[in-house]
Amino acid sequence: MNDFREFIRILDDNNELLRIREEVEPKFDVGGINRLAVLRRGPALLFENIRGCPSKVATFAFGSQRRIDLAFGTKSHKETIEKYLEALKRDRIPPVLVKSGACKENILRDPDLTRDIPNLIWGELDGGPYITLPLVITKDRDKQKRNMGIYRVMIRDSKEAGILIVPTQHIGMMYSEYERNDEPMDIAIVLGGDPLLTILAASPLQYGDDELGVVGSIRQKPVEVVKCETVDIEVPASAELVIEGVVLPKIRKLEGPFGEYTGYYGKQGERPVIQVKCITHRENYLWPAAYVTKPHPPNEDTVVRSVGIDGGILDQARKVLPEIRNFHMLRSSGDSYMGVAQIGKKPYPNFAKQVMDAIWSTHKGCWIKILIVVDEDIDIYDIEDVIWAISMRVQPHSDTHIVNDHIGYPLDPSAETPGVSSHMGIDATIKVPERFKSYPPLSVPSDGLLAAIEQKYGRLSFYSRITGNK
């Protein structure tokens, strides 16, 4: 799989796409229809007739685990995570520079953001039209490190856009270098390309680790890139559209408000400005987009981060404590604020607290407000099983661990001071040997008994009707 339109074809072939051919309004209606699909856990949507829009718009394409698995060529979340972790262990396959690519089929040297790309206003309180699934590529000032991430971009006028840059993010670290030297930072805003580019752009890699190189490691072939027309950045050759420009130093203008992944609107504020120089795009380009909204049920913005968040935190924490078997960030927490770690046999008492500290020290784990540690018999993807473990294995006075004045994420609406949060760890493991020599046996049929029942009754009709096995 090389590009976004091939991904859309695969979704269509697997009954994961709904084409909307009727005319739809670009203001609020695309977002509202997308929300209906989220609430019903429906298919990806391809809007083919948005009034005044220069292209077709695909939303909710990354909105389910099955669609993420299709992007990876896998059959389950577990298999996808394993494939991602295996790629992280291997050497990166760096991108290869080619002379030209599909993204150069049209070159607009006098671009107009209000005319040449979709201007979609998603939420009723949004400060303007937003690009919601951009792959934003920047380099550090020495041109030694590349970063590709997803950051919200607001269209201001024909040649100008606003962007939210958080200082602790990798793009923020790069931008600070340029600002200290009063220099503009080159930027390329990429739409489309291999769907794994979008998934990796939402992944918490270490600073300097190249997202394009990880995609190469997963695909086992390099991502083809081309040079931009007006800035010193390389972009995926198969991209649908590329916006080239610079982030101006020491200039701030109002950006926002914008409906965020927390389910609340992010505040309006004075934020950096992008000056647009050029747009290149494919003929009849497709525009990928996501409606960022309340993460319950899990929406596209949440699901697209799931592989990178779960896999990234697990990879980093395991390097410190290999006893950590698995990790899962709960989708309804916005893939940010509530996670579950699964451990094997404890090497010593109170090991769960060390697990908490290890996960809180990772790049994205530092934002987890509520962290639950469970034994390996608990299915961390089944919230009911996790709640059972908390209910039956936790005494709040001794099994919770509170940390005050920890790092938090600036968009957390519950924080009194943006970027500062308290954290709570819940040790939901069986307290052997901490409090007990043994724990009561489970009151469920043993695996041996169930196997004997299958052997005895498996050929009878009632058994298949109960189990669903034929």
Q: 207 and 339: one domain? A: no
Q: 195 and 82: one domain? A: yes
Q: 84 and 220: one domain? A: yes
For position 470, what pLDDT does the model report? 63
For position 54, what pLDDT does the model report? 97
**DSSP category for residue 414:** T
Cα–Cα distance measured from residue 341 to residue 254, given in angstroms and rounded to the nearest whole number: 40
DSSP string, 93-116: ---EE-S--GGGSEEESS--HHHH
Q: In this structure, is residue 82 part of a structural domain?
A: yes
> Is the distance from CB of 162 to CB of 131 less than 8 angstroms?
no
Q: 245 and 351: one domain? A: no
Q: 17 and 33: one domain? A: yes
Cα–Cα distance measured from residue 352 to residue 356, given in angstroms and rounded to the nearest whole number: 6
Which residues does 40 contact at the CB level (< 8 Å), separation at least 6? Answer: none
Which residues does 332 contact at the CB level (< 8 Å), separation at least 6? Answer: 295, 296, 297, 298, 302, 338
Instruction: Give the CA radius of gyration of the chain.
Output: 24
Look-up: residue for tokens 């303007």?
128
3-class DSSP string for 273-335: EEEEEEEEECCCCEEEECCCCCCCCCCHHHHCCHHHHHHHHHHHHHCCCCCEEEEEECHHHCC
57, containing H or E segment: strand 56-59
Q: How many CA atoms lie within 13 A of 326 on its CB side?
A: 17
For position 363, what pLDDT does the model report? 84
Look up the domain containing 49 and give its range. 4-300
Task: Find the CATH number of the domain harbouring 72.
Answer: 2.30.110.10
How many other β-carbons are positioned within 10 Å of the β-carbon of residue 379?
A: 17
Residue type, 180: R
> Is the distance from CB of 353 to CB of 425 less than 8 angstroms?
yes
Cα–Cα distance measured from residue 27 to residue 155, given in angstroms and rounded to the nearest whole number: 14
Q: How far is CA 333 from CA 166, 301, 314, in A?
A: 20, 12, 18
**Among 184, 155, 117, which residue's Cα sits nearest to residue 253?**
155
Q: How far is CA 146 from CA 4, 99, 206, 322, 412, in A?
A: 22, 20, 11, 30, 28
Q: In this structure, is residue 470 part of a structural domain?
A: no
How many other β-carbons are positioned within 10 Å of the β-carbon of residue 179?
A: 17
Q: 107 and 176: one domain? A: yes
Q: 329 and 277: one domain? A: no
Q: In this structure, is residue 185 part of a structural domain?
A: yes
- 329, two tokens: 């960030």
Q: 288 and 310: one domain? A: no
**Between helices 65-72 and 77-89, what is the axis angle to 10°?**
40
**Between helices 4-13 and 65-72, what is the axis angle to 10°?**
120
> Is the distance from CB of 186 to CB of 234 less than 8 angstroms?
no
Domain count, the chain: 2
Cα–Cα distance measured from residue 234 to residue 241, given in angstroms and rounded to the nearest whole number: 13
Q: 340 and 265: one domain? A: no
Q: In this structure, is residue 342 part of a structural domain?
A: yes
The dihedral region occupied by 244, where left means phi > 0, alpha psi between -120 and 50, and beta the remainder, is: beta
Cα–Cα distance measured from residue 283 to residue 460, given in angstroms and rounded to the nearest whole number: 59
pTM of the model: 0.91
> Is the distance from CB of 281 to CB of 106 less than 8 angstroms?
yes
How many other β-carbons are positioned within 10 Å of the β-carbon of residue 13?
A: 10
Strand-pair partners of 99: none
Q: In this structure, is residue 178 part of a structural domain?
A: yes
- 415, two tokens: 């924080």
Q: In this structure, is residue 413 part of a structural domain?
A: yes
- The predicted-structure confidence for 259-308, as pLDDT tens digits, reads as follows 998 999 998 999 999 999 999 999 999 999 999 999 888 889 889 999 99
Last residue of a domain, one of 300, 329, 357: 300
For position 77, what pLDDT does the model report? 87
Q: 263 and 319: one domain? A: no
pLDDT in tens, the chain (470 residues): 889 999 999 999 999 999 999 999 999 999 999 999 999 999 999 999 999 999 999 999 999 999 999 999 999 988 999 999 999 999 999 999 999 999 999 999 999 999 999 999 999 999 999 999 999 999 999 999 999 999 999 999 999 999 999 888 999 999 999 999 999 999 999 999 999 999 999 998 989 999 999 999 999 999 999 999 999 999 999 999 999 999 999 999 999 999 998 999 998 999 999 999 999 999 999 999 999 999 888 889 889 999 999 999 999 999 999 999 999 999 999 888 999 999 999 999 999 999 999 999 998 899 999 999 999 999 999 999 999 999 999 999 999 999 999 888 888 899 999 889 999 999 999 999 999 999 999 999 999 999 999 999 998 888 888 988 76
Q: In this structure, is residue 148 part of a structural domain?
A: yes
Q: In this structure, is residue 401 part of a structural domain?
A: yes
Cα–Cα distance measured from residue 299 to residue 263, given in angstroms and rounded to the nearest whole number: 10
Q: 368 and 390: one domain? A: yes
Cα–Cα distance measured from residue 149 to residue 369, given in angstroms and rounded to the nearest whole number: 23
Q: 256 and 404: one domain? A: no
Strand-pair partners of 57: 47, 287
